[in-house]
Structure 1
Amino acid sequence: MTTETSPDGVVTKTAPGSVAEVATRFRELLDAKGVTVFAVIDQAAAAQTAGLTLRDTVLVIFGNPAAGTPVMAAAPLAGLDLPLKVLIWDDAGVTRVSYYSPETIAYHHNLTPTTTAGLSAIHPLTDALTRA
């Protein structure tokens, strides 16, 4: 598994399979864990409706109110970053999984690690996805 973290706090991992396959596996993983999936947005399909072409790109918006509510109670503007989002995208034939780290969200909203601890589940969730 390849993992990179950019200077702006975006974690990117490599996942086996096509964007569609990885998005399906991620949805199944979230469902199995009882995590709420709020939306799955096929951004490439949306681009096609405007007559444009975009590499395969799917945004999955998900969360757990038990983890996100304390964060938004402590910092209402954290709602701009929550629920959590994972972007699954094609990088020249390699499927990538990218998201803002919980540490970055905590930093942006001046939150304590204790307040954002529940968000850290995104790391093992995406680790499991990239090993699949």
Structure 2
Amino acid sequence: MSELTSIPSAHGFAETVTRVEQQIAARGATVFARFDHAANAREAGLHMPPTTVLVFGAARGGTPVMNASPDLAYELPLRLLVRQHEDQVELLYRSIDAWAAQYGVPAQVIAPLRLVEKVAAAAAAAD
């Protein structure tokens, strides 16, 4: 069973990526990195459907989680994958519930990491 949660987007690929970035900024978080796997594939003479990973977070949310469970630092910052899969754009992220179970972190402690769920849902939603 995959620990990734998938949400279909109501928007095209480029618009979905833009909406994700806007949602991250609106919630006071920072995009630390953007990996455009399809562009990297093109540079190598290969083809890949549009696929971008955004790495983001906020110290105010992540620091208390890492203080409560230092091993969670390995998982952070948060990551959100936006990809074109056949005719559908999807947003994928690792389940926060899976992290809570894996690291034995109570729900109230890990709650700030639900930022990824909020960003994905808002970015994917039809207006």
TM-score normalized by structure 1? 0.87
Kept in 2: contact 1:30–1:36 (CA 8 A): yes
CA contact (8 A) 1:14 1:130 kept: yes
The DSSP-based 3-state class of the residue aligned with 2:48 is: coil
Alpha-carbon separation, structure 2, partners of 1:121 and 1:38: 15
How many Å separate the matches in 2 of 1:43 and 1:76? 30
Any residues of structure 2 matched to 1:1-132 within 5 Å, and which? Answer: 7-132=1-126
Q: Check the 8 A contact 2:35/2:52 in 1, yes or no.
A: yes
Q: 2:76 is matched by which residue type in structure 1?
A: L
The residue identity in structure 1 corresponding to 2:84 is D
Which segments of 5 or more consecutive residues in structure 2 lack a partner in the other structure? none
Q: How many residues are paired up?
A: 126
Query: Which structure ranks higher in relative contact order (CA pairs < 8 Å, sequence separation ≥ 6)?
Result: 2
CA distance in 1 between counterparts of 2:54 and 2:106 reads: 26
| 1:69 Cα offset (Å) | 1.0
RMSD: 1.4
Cα offset, 1:51, TM superposition? 2.0
Paired amino acid for 1:103 = D
Instruction: Give the letter for the 1:111 counterpart.
Output: V
CA-CA distance at 1:61 after TM superposition: 0.6
Shift of 1:53: 1.4
